[in-house]
Amino acid sequence: MRALGANGPGLLAVTGIPNSSNLRSYLLPLARNLSLLDRLTRNRILKEHNLGSDVSLKNPHRSVSSFAMQLNYSKTHSEEKDKDKDKPQCYGNGFESLGSVFQELGFCMMEVGLCLARICDKAIGGNELEQSLLESLAAKGRLIHYHSQLDAILIQQLDKSKANNKRGVKNNIKPLEVSCLDSVACDDAVRSDLWQQWHYDYGIFTVLTAPLFLSPSYSKSSTTLDSCSCVECASPTGHTNLQIYDPNKKKVVVVRAPPESFIVQVGESADIISKGKLRSTLHSVYRPLKFENLSRETFVVFLQPAWTKVFSISDYPLGKSAFDGVNGREFDDEEQWSGQDNNKLSLEIQKIVPPLSSRLKDGMTFAEFSRETTKRYYGGNGLQSNR
């Protein structure tokens, strides 16, 4: 409770989960592979594995690709595990196990969330957190690819190739040379120092795998990039590139976690249900500009209440939950933050993150709260376009 409580950062890492490392190693690289497929092939594969997407994959200038599936709590029970316990732990290297591994890893992460909800309920009294999760009947899993600059080029070339083919123009795309990557014009979202803008998650818990980083391989005979081949690499910054605002330290700090761990973040619904005894996590995903051809892969499960869950805020310290400014940072020179002053960053975050008091009213259902939150983040001037 120290990490998730009012005096903590609002997140923790969980280790020692059986087989999670194997599942992660198979699933996460598929995020990039799916992102770079042509639309028809990708749609066929997604349909075969009961996956969809919650971002516009038709947009060639997107900086993030996401592949989603609803995960039902009824299938996390032990009979499902018993059914598969004798299967060999070999998943291949293609898409053949995409759907099954997506579900297996997702169910594992849901169990972690349920266990943590029980622990928190015991500490704060009652069983409302766990009951709220079970009453929702399902969680949402997302396999996410954060694009590198190279990915942005490849996706835009694929889109141009399709347009040219429709017009009967012969496709004659030259191989990408290393020297051209520094000067190519690219979407501002990919050029920015954030893959994902500052925000709170509005569910109960968000459970994430530690990210996997990929960098392109090179042809043995020349300096030409092998555009379709990437290799796993260590994080060049030494951390997950997830960053949080710690309201106690009044600083933005980076998150470090073992590669085999799950990271659990507190969402605003848990903050509300616990009457502020749990602290929701203000966070973003940092993109290191020095490593423009680095991509980031992760798998996330969002645990939320039922849409009909009614929030009571009569005993909730609403004023304490609103963002109250950033007074410092903990970044070294390698992280490219020296050029941005703290006051400027503080103002930017306050413009981007709408206060909870502007989104939550007493007696609101979770559906109404999520709709108002989405409207505040994405509506109007579109400040959350990176999210």
Tokens of residue 242, six digits: 């997830």
pLDDT bucket at 165, cuts 50 / 70 / 90 = low
The pLDDT value given to residue 325: 43
Task: State residue 68's pLDDT score.
Answer: 97
pLDDT of 3 over the 50 cut: yes
Among residues 61, 62, 66, the alpha carbon closest in space to that of 31 is found at 66
Give me the helix-helix angle, 20-35 and 39-48, nearest 10°: 150
Closest CA to 89 of 78, 68, 70, 105: 105
191-215 burial, b at 16+ Cβ within 10 Å, e below that, comes to eeebbbbbbbbbbbbbbbbbbbbbb
Residue 48 CA neighbour count, 13 Å, CB half: 10
Percent of the chain exceeding pLDDT 90 equals: 56
> How many percent of the chain have pLDDT more than 70?
75
Q: Is the pLDDT of residue 276 over 60?
A: yes
Counting DSSP H helices and E strands in the chain, the numbers are: 11, 12
For tokens 């609103």, name the residue.
Answer: 322
* All structural domains of the chain: 11-165+173-378 (2.60.120)
CB distance 90 to 22 below 8 Å: no
Q: Is the dihedral of CA 27, 12, 293, 386 positive or negative?
A: positive
What separation in angstroms does the CA of 18 have from each of 22, 104, 205, 234? 9, 12, 21, 22
Q: Which of 7-21, 102-116, 135-149, 312-326 has the lowest mean pLDDT?
A: 312-326
Q: Report yes or no: 103 and 71 within 8 Å, Cβ to Cβ.
A: yes
Q: Could you tell me the two tokens for 259? A: 């590669």
Between 251 and 135, residue with greater pLDDT = 135
Sequence-distant (6+) residues with CB within 8 A of 180 are none
Mean pLDDT over each residue of the chain, to the nearest integer: 81
pLDDT tens-digit readout, 303-339: 999 999 999 998 888 765 545 444 444 444 344 343 3
Tens-place pLDDT, residues 73-130:
987 654 445 555 545 455 555 899 999 999 999 999 999 999 999 999 999 999 999 9
Q: What is the pTM of this model?
A: 0.83
**Contact yes or no for 234/296 (Cβ under 8 A):** no
Please enumerate in sequence order all residues whose Cβ is within 8 A of that of 189, keeping only pairs 6 or more positions apart, or say none: 61, 62, 63, 385, 386
Residue 178's φ and ψ, nearest 5 degrees, are -55, -40
23 pLDDT higher than 60 = yes
Tell me the β-bridge partners of 64.
Answer: 146
Confidence (pLDDT) at 159: 72
141-145, 183-187, 237-241, 248-252: which has the minimum mean pLDDT?
Answer: 183-187
Does residue 333 or residue 366 have the better pLDDT?
Answer: 366
Q: Which residue has the higher pLDDT, 312 or 216?
A: 312
Count other Cβ atoms within 10 Å, centred on residue 48: 12
Rounded CA-CA distance 249/7 in Å is 10
Which region, left, alpha or beta, applies to residue 100 given φ > 0 means left and ψ of -120 to 50 means alpha?
alpha
Residue type, 269: S
Say what the pLDDT of residue 50 is: 96
